[in-house]
Chains A and B, each alone.
Chain A
Amino acid sequence: MTPHLHEEIRQLLSAYLDRELTQAEEQRVRIHLEDCEECRRACEELARLQELTRSLDFEEPPEARMKELEKSLSVQAPRRLGWLFILAGLAAWLIYGAVTWVRHWRPPTVEELIASAVIIGFVMLLLSVVIERLRQLPHDRYRRIER
């Protein structure tokens, strides 16, 4: 066996252990390992190393923060849907109001006044939240997190 062949097989050992070689390459390595004790030992050492690395035991993530994250993730979908409804409702109401205004102007009904008051109040609340958030933003350590 030439040193060149040893080197070539050595370079394939890692992928051989990971089952990432083609069938032909795998067979070539297997045949070589049957005859070459040195490469076989290298292969066994690499396998042992893999096993040791797998058994390294790292610390667990902080459970309280994980629970917090889980909760935050669970409200994402309804929150998104809620925003969608609010925006769609506001847009529809504005279009309806504009069309009514242009087509046939008449004094608004009591129901329309009440609905408009609710919507205006809601928009003002939203604006107040946005303004408050913008004021807090420079001091928020989680500001870069997409919510």
Chain B
Amino acid sequence: MTATGFMETNVMSPATEGESGAFANFFERSRRKAYSFALHLVGNRDEAMDITQEAYLRLHRRWPASPGEHDPTAWLYAVIRNIAIDHMRRRARRPEDGLDHVTLRCPSAGPEAAAERNELARQLWEAIGNLPPGQREILLLRDWHGLDYGQIAEVLGLSMGTVSSRLHHAREKVREQMRRFLR
């Protein structure tokens, strides 16, 4: 799964979410990204799935009360993040950033090109993994999950200026490490 597919369907008008079946549509469109976000946070598949499940059940419980008041995407991410923090706090450990979760999509390339792309993905994921957690989270929320600055600010409880500044620093650090691949 890549970020592109989700970004195309990520634009949801809160007004239309009040219609019948809106939650089912939202679930269908967001579930893969939601799972990945949880996986990025806790680094464990079972735990990520538990967190995703808990987040959707919480959202569903409160969904009909005020469908127009929330941006459902930001709301979902904020709930996942809170649950993940809770999980990590309870287990007193840091996320396990497994590089084996990542490969670059390369549908039509031959084995050699695929190996090159995988190496590029590995390097990129390593560079992203070297970022401080706060910067890495913002970088992934923007560039992979496709959230805008306002949504990221809502999810993380930060100002838009802080989001912009952290994103700038995060990208600059990754660019520095990836420079030889970018030219």
Binding site for B on A (CB under 8 A): 10-11, 13-15, 18, 20, 42, 45-46, 48-50, 52-62, 65-66, 69-70, 72-74, 76, 142, 144-147
Across the A-B interface, the 6 shortest Cβ-Cβ residue pairs: A61-B35, A53-B143, A57-B105, A54-B3, A14-B168, A45-B182
**Contact at A57–B103, with CB atoms within 8 Å?**
yes
**Contact at A49–B2, with CB atoms within 8 Å?**
no
Q: How far is the CA of A144 from the CA of B80 in the complex (A)?
A: 14
**Contact at A61–B54, with CB atoms within 8 Å?**
no
The residues of B that contact A145 with a CB separation of less than 8 Å are 50, 53-54, 57
Q: Is the interface of A mostly helix, strand, loop or mixed?
A: helix
The residues of A that contact B178 with a CB separation of less than 8 Å are 49, 52
Q: How far is the CA of A60 from the CA of B160 in the complex (A)?
A: 31
**Contact at A69–B53, with CB atoms within 8 Å?**
yes
The total number of A-B Cβ pairs within 8 Å is 126
Instruction: Enumerate 7 A-B pairs (CB-CB under 8 Å) in ascending A order.
Output: A13-B168, A18-B149, A53-B128, A54-B2, A57-B1, A65-B49, A72-B53
The residues of B that contact A73 with a CB separation of less than 8 Å are 23-24, 27, 56-57, 60
Output the nearest chain A residue to B100 by Cβ-Cβ distance: A59
**8 Å CB interface, B59-92 against A:** 60-61
Count of chain B residues near A, Cβ 8 A: 56
**Contact at A49–B175, with CB atoms within 8 Å?**
yes
Q: Chain A CB within 10 Å — which of B53, B160, B181 has the most?
A: B53
**Contact at B57–A147, with CB atoms within 8 Å?**
yes
The residues of A that contact B168 with a CB separation of less than 8 Å are 11, 13-15
**Contact at A58–B102, with CB atoms within 8 Å?**
yes
Min C-beta distance of B74 to chain A, whole Å = 15
A61 touches which of B52, B102, B105, B183 (Cβ 8 Å) = B52
Assess A58 versus B175: contact at CB under 8 Å? Given A15-B168, A147-B57: no
**Contact at B139–A72, with CB atoms within 8 Å?**
no
The residues of B that contact A48 with a CB separation of less than 8 Å are 182
